[in-house]
Structures are given as C-alpha cells and as structure tokens.
Amino acid sequence: MRPCTVIQLFCSSASLQSAMPVSFSYRFLRARHAFARTLLPLANVASGEMSSANHNVRLFSQDACEHEEPKTDFFMLHNGDKLAYKRTHGSNLPGVIFLPGFLSNMTGEKAKILERYCKIYDHPYIRFDYRACGESSGKLDAMTLHEWLDDVLTVVDTFTNPGEPQILVGSSMGGGLMMHVALKRPERVFGLVGVAAAIDRWTDLEKNLSPEHRALLDADKAVIGPWGDFPIRRAFLDSLSSLSQSVYTNQTIPIRCAVRLLHGVKDDVISYSDSSQIMNKLESSDVQVLISKSADHRFSKPQDLQMLVNCVDQLVKQYESPL
C-alpha cells in the first residue's frame, strides 16, 4: 500500500467535507521515507501482513494486538488505593500515554496496538486503569471525574520527567480528561490524540433525569443511570459540571499543542460533529479532525486502529522533524 493514499481507506476528501457541519482545514499525511517506514508495516492490520519488494513480512497476528504482555505494576496512592499500570520503556521521545474511556480499562484493542507500535519503535509507553476500574482498587460509587483526572496527573507526574514530552491518547472520556491534563501540564504534553472525545455532552445526563431521580440525588443517594450498573451520585454530576464549565463553556480552549481528533460517523454515543466544535474552540493552529465513515464509538475495527496508529506516528515524526 502506498503511504500517500492511506487516507483513502477511510473516506474521500469530498465525503469528509460534506459530512462536517463546519469547514475546516485538513492536511494530508506526507509521504516521507521516515513516515513510510511505519505506515508500511502497520498498514494491513486486518490481515497481519505487509507487502515487501520480494516477500511478505508477518508483523501482526490476526488479532493485530496480540503480543507479549508487560507485567502489571501498582502505584500506591496517598489514600491507600492502588493504581494499576503497564509500562514499556523506550529510549526515543516522545512518550505515549493511553487514557481509557468511561468504565473501560487498559486491556482494549487501542491500548494494546499503541503499545505494540511503541515497542517496535522504542518509545516509552504507559497504559493504566483509573481507580475502581480494571485492576485498580477503589470504590466505584465514590468516584468522580476529578478523581480520575487526578489519576492521569499522577501517572504523568510519577512516570515522566520534565523535558520528556508526551503524546496523550484519550478515548471517549479519556479524550476529555487529556484536554485538562494539557491545560494543567502544558510543558509535559507535545500532542493530543482524541478518539470520540467526550467533552460537555456528559452534562446532558442531568437534564434527562426524572424528578424522582433528582430527589434521590439531592438526598445523597445513588441512582443507576444509563451506563449499566454505574451508581450516579450528586458528587459525580457536580464534578462533570465543574470540569465542563471550567474549560468548555469558554469561547476558546487555551491549548496550543498539536491535536488530532478521530471520530466515527456511526458513533451513537457522541456525535462526530462534536469533534469539529472542539477544533473550533482550540487555540492551537495545528488541529486536524479525521472522520471515518465506517467507525462507531469503540473505534476498534482494524482500519480504525490503523488510523489511530498513523495519527500517533504523524505526531512522532513531527516531533523528530518539526515542520
């Protein structure tokens, strides 16, 4: 596959323009040799093969994410909870940190494919579980977005050093949290990659609650909402509102690093038009919105994973060879 045509796997420029509610500038991936060395081996994620001049090289399994798992380590927090994480060391910058979505964990396809990429090209990589999710300890009904944001900041502050820029990759809720990290630790963040980033859509939750549910929340009781068995409490809703109003109700978002926002047209959780709205608010001039016509909210089909890896690789090359 020719690296210069990689974007044609997902949508044509014409369909992309017609799909977006607002116009925006879209920069196609440059077919440089340094970039091509990664696009070629990662191109056929679905089949696990790449074309070479004389033979096929099998780089990925059919699963595309199957590889030797690093061991799970635990970081003890001040309150006694343990934060589970998997860390891959590397000698090349920037590092990459994956932020899972709501009630998700570090074992998903996106987290693993990025780990595989970083291992191949010797970049530091961290994936972790928020408190009360996955292998991390904690009481789920005591969690708020502020607690989970603190978890991300703990990972950044503990496992990276000043002068070691990071690319944060956030899925859904993680895409919203990565924005707050970029605002609180701008010197640590080189770039952001959001996948179906959840920003202020969460505030619609309280609007749709019944009067009975509102009364329970006001009495400091939990309500089982639309997200499975997750117990919603007043503190959780207040945290949602606080984080949203602190950033996204402003006319602009003072983030100036490189940002890539990936979204699927078939996302029935967060509208893909949200990504263009985020783009318009960001102060950075280096923002790209990439739309996949076939992707849903999970963004985990083989072609979606390829799109994600290509975006991260673009930012890595941009760090190595600034435009």
Question: Does residue 170 sit within a domain?
Answer: yes
Whole-number average pLDDT of the chain: 80
- Nearest-angstrom CA–CA distance, 258 and 219: 44
Catalytic residue among 136, 172, 275, 300: 172
Within-domain flag for 168: yes
Q: Is the pLDDT confidence value at 65 over 80?
A: no
Q: Find which of 30-34, 140-144, 245-249 is predicted with most confidence, using mean pLDDT.
A: 140-144
In this predicted structure, what is the pLDDT of residue 64?
A: 44
Quick: pLDDT tens for 76-121. 999 999 999 999 999 999 999 999 999 999 999 999 999 999 999 9
Which tops the pLDDT comparison, 165 or 8? 165
Look up 268 and say whether it is catalytic: no
Q: Which pLDDT score, from 0 to 100, does residue 208 have?
A: 74
- What's the predicted TM-score (pTM) here? 0.80
Q: What is the pLDDT of residue 243?
A: 86
| Residue 313 or residue 216, greater confidence | 313
In a domain, 104, yes or no: yes
Range from 15-19, 138-142, 262-266 carrying the lowest mean pLDDT: 15-19
Residue 243, in any domain of the structure: no
Residue 66: which pLDDT band, with cuts at 50, 70 and 90? Answer: low
Residue 114 is part of a domain; what is its CATH number?
Answer: 3.40.50.1820
172 catalytic residue (yes or no):
yes
Q: Who has greater pLDDT, 200 or 305?
A: 305
pLDDT of residue 148: 96
Catalytic residue among 129, 151, 200, 267: 267
Residues 265-279: tens digit of each pLDDT: 999 888 999 999 999
pLDDT score at 12:
32
Summarize pLDDT for 213-260 with one digit per residue, the tens: 888 888 888 887 666 678 888 888 888 888 887 777 778 999 999 999
Q: 188 in a domain, yes or no?
A: yes
Asked, for residue 21, whether it belongs to a domain, the answer is no
Residue 180 has pLDDT above 50, yes or no: yes
pLDDT score of 138: 94
Between 49 and 278, the more confident residue is 278
Domain that holds residue 267: 69-199+248-298
Of the ranges 3-12, 99-108, 157-166, 231-240, which one carries the lowest mean pLDDT score?
Answer: 3-12
Residues of the chain above pLDDT 90, percent: 57
225 within domain boundaries? no
Nearest to 306 by CA among 104, 89, 65: 65
The question of whether 63 is a catalytic residue gets the answer: no
The pLDDT value recorded for residue 217 is 87
pLDDT of residue 13: 34
- The verdict on residue 303 lying in a domain is no
> Nearest to residue 111, comparing CAs of 133, 89, 90, 96?
96
297, 300, 304, 313: which is the annotated catalytic residue? 297
Number of compact structural domains in the chain: 1
Q: Phi first, then psi: give them for residue 211, nearest 5 degrees.
A: -55, -35
pLDDT, mean of residues 314-319: 96
Which is it for the CA torsion 79, 85, 91, 94, positive or negative?
Answer: negative
Q: Could you write out the three-class secondary structure of the chain?
A: CCHHHHHHHCCCHHHHHHHCCCCCCCCCCCCCHHHHHHHHHHHCCCCCEEECCCCEEECCCCCCCCCCCCCCEEEECCCCCEEEEEEECCCCCCEEEEECCCCCCCCCHHHHHHHHHHHHCCCCEEEECCCCCCCCCCCHHHCCHHHHHHHHHHHHHHHCCCCCCEEEEEECHHHHHHHHHHHHCHHHEEEEEEECCCCCHHHHHHHCCCHHHHHHHHCCCCEECCCCCCEECHHHHHHHHHHHHHHCCCCCECCCCEEEEEEECCCCCCCCHHHHHHHHHECCCCEEEEEECCCCCCCCCHHHHHHHHHHHHHHHHHHHCCC
